[in-house]
Amino acid sequence: MPDTHSAATPAIPRRALVTGAAGFIGSHLAQTLAQAGTTVIGVDRRDPTRDQTAATNLAPLHGLPGYLHITADLLNCAIDPLLFDADAIFHLAGIPGVRPSWGPQFSEYVNANILATQRLMDAATRMRVPRLVVASSSSVYGPTNGGPSTEGDHPRPASPYAVTKLAEEQLCLAHASRADCSTSVVALRYFTVYGPRQRPDMFTHRALHAALTGQPLRLYGDGHQRRDFTYIDDIVTATISAARAPIDTGIVNVGGGSNASLLDVISIAKSLAGREIHIHTDGTRNGDVLTTRADPRRARSVLGWQPTVDLTAGMRAQMDAMTRPAHQSAA
């Protein structure tokens, strides 16, 4: 099992703001930073006294010295005070689902992923925060021929969500290019992240849940979709490294460069849980690409990053976290 949160971490910021800190990736990042000695302010609009997922994600952060959590919406809260003396912002707040972005919910994606980001970049500029790391997405590449996606590839986002993520990263980079902005931006294109606390709408969680409970798994398409699955601890390491990357770093893929199919994930989940999975096949979903695969060379050269956790070990850690009693869920 991967040794969660004890892997060698790169040089850390002294004081940082983590947005989306009650979410899957944000809570892990905030925890690792605070445990390593960074003074962290975490902000999220989900209220952990009313939202069980936020409460569960934030539980390991309770009582960590140097961690302060604030429930606030970046669309309307006063952001400047959160940035006082910060040397880095990790911007993970956003609405992340690919398939629900069609239809009336699109305005929420625009609000969270674009308008809130605009407010944050304005505040970062005013407060002269030297670095902002923004969570972008492999989905900006859209359909590929199966080969690795390189940061210089022409983006062809295939879902409304992906369009907002492309707008978000480009908006941050546009602000950073202003003569009066001293905030440099690193945009990380994360590839399908999994591990403990993964969002319950995501496939790895659903496959493990089906294997553990015997409830059916809904499979969109034939299961031959492939993803460059990236383990949460590896994502956190890359993200922290990005705070110290050279000023002109720009866009970096965070994915290992290989991929696995949904059928592979199902087979690993079955063997880890020792139980069959009942599959309900459904139609393919609009905006869902067949394959993602990162070209990892920039991450290696600019961030000194490479993944350390393979899919079976990572899924075992995720399953262990799903079966652990809530009061023991430090991972």
Instruction: Rule CB under 6 A: say whether 135 interacts with ligand NAD.
Output: yes
| Closer Cβ to ligand NAD, 13 or 42, answer by number | 42
The CA–CA distances, whole Å, from 78 to 26, 43, 69, 138 equal 20, 11, 15, 31
Per CB under 6 A, contacts with ligand UGA among 70-109 are 96-98
* Shortest CB 297 distance to ligand UGA, Å: 18
- Choose the one of ligand NAD, ligand UGA, none that binds residue 273, judging by a C-beta under 5 to 8 angstroms depending on kind: none
Contact 138, 149 (CB under 8 A): yes
| Closer Cβ to ligand NAD, 25 or 176, answer by number | 25
Per CB under 6 A, contacts with ligand NAD among 209-248 are none
Task: Give the pairing type, strands 260-261 and 226-227.
Answer: antiparallel
* Shortest CB 159 distance to ligand UGA, Å: 9
Per CB under 6 A, contacts with ligand NAD among 36-65 are 43-46
Contact 36, 9 (CB under 8 A): yes
Instruction: Rule CB under 6 A: say whether 112 interacts with ligand NAD.
Output: yes
| Closer Cβ to ligand NAD, 74 or 176, answer by number | 74
The question of whether 161 is a catalytic residue gets the answer yes
CB atoms within 10 A of CB 158: 17
* Shortest CB 148 distance to ligand UGA, Å: 14
| Closer Cβ to ligand NAD, 136 or 278, answer by number | 136
- In 3D, which of 305, 211, 214, 289 has the Cα closest to residue 257? 305
- In 3D, which of 314, 307, 304 has the Cα closest to residue 272? 314
Instruction: Rule CB under 6 A: say whether 123 interacts with ligand NAD.
Output: no
d(CA 5, CA 285): 35
* Shortest CB 266 distance to ligand NAD, Å: 18
Instruction: Rule CB under 6 A: say whether 28 interacts with ligand UGA.
Output: no
Query: Which is the catalytic residue, given 161, 190, 194, 231?
Result: 161
Instruction: Rule CB under 6 A: say whether 191 interacts with ligand UGA.
Output: yes
Q: Environment class of residue 243 by beta-carbon count within 10 Å: exposed (0-12), middle (13-18) or buried (19+)?
A: buried
Contact 182, 220 (CB under 8 A): no
Q: Of the candidates 134, 172, 219, 245, which one interacts with ligand UGA according to CB under 6 A?
A: 219
* Shortest CB 152 distance to ligand NAD, Å: 19
| Lookup result for tokens 């961030």 | 303
Contact 293, 259 (CB under 8 A): yes
- In this structure, what are the phi and psi dihedrals at residue 260, rounded to the nearest 5 degrees? -135, 155
d(CA 310, CA 314): 6
Q: Of the candidates 36, 59, 68, 75, which one interacts with ligand NAD according to CB under 6 A?
A: 75
The CA–CA distances, whole Å, from 308 to 24, 29, 230, 254 equal 19, 17, 10, 12
d(CA 227, CA 192): 7
Candidates 60-68, 185-193, 259-267, 290-298: pick the segment binding ligand NAD (CB under 6 A): 185-193
Q: Which residues bind ligand NAD (CB under 6 A)?
A: 19-20, 22-26, 43-46, 73-75, 92-96, 112, 116, 135, 137, 165, 190, 192-193, 199
Q: Which residues bind ligand UGA (CB under 6 A)?
A: 96-98, 137-139, 190-192, 202-203, 206, 218-220, 225, 227, 262, 285, 288, 292
User: Which of the residues are catalytic?
Assistant: 161
